[in-house]
Structure 1
Amino acid sequence: MPAPSSPLQIRPYEPADWPALWALLEPMFRAGETFPHDLAITEAEAQLAWVEQNQAVMVAVDAAGAVLGTYYLRPNSLALGAHVANAGYVVAEHCRRMGIGSRLCQHSLQAAWRLGFRAMQFNLVVSTNSAGIRCWQRNRFQLVGTLPGAFRHKQLGYVDALVMVQGLVEGPKP
């Protein structure tokens, strides 16, 4: 396991990263606690959803090149709503609480701003994902709404989902 001070590089996804990326994504999707994907998602469906259908996909790697985390960036909506970004993040379980999620979030905000997005919105932050909520709040995301029972948690049943947003017009505020 890398130490918190280990060099971390965030770079664009490359096709050779897919096996390591799938190893991060599969347990998160199957857990049914934070992502709304079908618990039986296939590897091909996951690759389509995480890589092919997004504007940018980045990976966080350690000094040895091991993939420790990832994010995707895409428009949150179509046409007249496409100026608002959306992103999703996954950090390897053994690397959590080391600031990697926050680094990925900050990187994605900068990337979204450079791409001309005017805001970033998270549509379905599961209310039981306290680590994620703390991370987004530390990175200046504001809670703008609660969707009662909007997420069907694998263990807990229907739980609330939060909508969080950060404006980017004058640059991100990490």
Structure 2
Amino acid sequence: MQIRHATEADRAAVLAIVGPVLAAGETYAMNRDLTAAQVEAYWFGPTHEVLVAEADGTILGTYYLKANQGGGGAHVANCGYMTAPAAQGKGIARAMGQDSLRRAAERGFRAMQFNHVVSTNTRAVALWQSLGFAIAGTLPAAFNHPVHGYVDSYVMFRTL
């Protein structure tokens, strides 16, 4: 497997991963009824450096890397990650997480922050903790989960 910058040729495969995840509404604080154009505009936004995890010509996952905030907060990175359903549980998210930490440090970021990790996404919470992230704060009932109702979200943070 390799992790590389997304190309125009990857766009459809990336959106085939991103669209259903956003529509499910279980892990991202986004509208669930985005059009295909809105999904594309979000994931491939002008501030996002988009990467893909690929093996044998198949896109297994994708993530973006960006500054979490502007101005005085621009030294803290932020990312979003998604893995193709068929590739889940195979270490793809861990590899993308490790890659993003390396790339963020290379770009001069001093820390990484996730603003809204949904508490019911226990696999993600455990993964980020295993990669050195701490729960810096709990946002009580901040996420309206389509199955579980109002659940907590976490702000997760680590220095680089």
Sort the TM-score into its range (normalised by shorter chain).
Answer: over 0.9
- Structure 2: 5+ residue stretches without partners: none
SS of match in other structure, 2:132: coil
Correspondence list, 1:21-170, <5 A: 21-63=14-56, 65-168=57-160
User: What do the CA deviations read for 1:21-52 (whole angstroms, capped 9, x no partner)?
Assistant: 11101110011100111111111111111112
Answer yes or no: is the 8 Å Cα contact 1:86–1:121 preserved in 2: yes
- Length-normalised TM-score, structure 2: 0.97
- Structure 1: 5+ residue stretches without partners: 1-7, 169-174
- Length-normalised TM-score, structure 1: 0.89
Q: Please report the RMSD computed on the Cα atoms of aligned residues, expressed in angstroms.
A: 0.9
Deviation at 1:157, TM superposition (A): 1.6
* Counterparts of 1:43 and 1:18, CA distance in 2: 12
Paired residues, number = 160
* Counterparts of 1:148 and 1:15, CA distance in 2: 39
Paired AA for residue 57 in structure 1: V
For the structure 1 residues 55 and 27, does the alpha-carbon distance in structure 2 shift closer, same or farther, using more than 3 Å as the test? closer
Deviation at 1:53, TM superposition (A): 3.1
Deviation at 1:96, TM superposition (A): 0.9
SS of match in other structure, 1:52: coil
1:10 and 2:9 matched: no
User: What do the CA deviations read for 1:54-104 (whole angstroms, capped 9, x no partner)?
Assistant: 3411000112x1110000011111111111000000001111111110000
Q: Provide runs of 4+ in structure 1 moved above 2 Å.
A: 52-55
* Counterparts of 2:8 and 2:158, CA distance in 1: 31
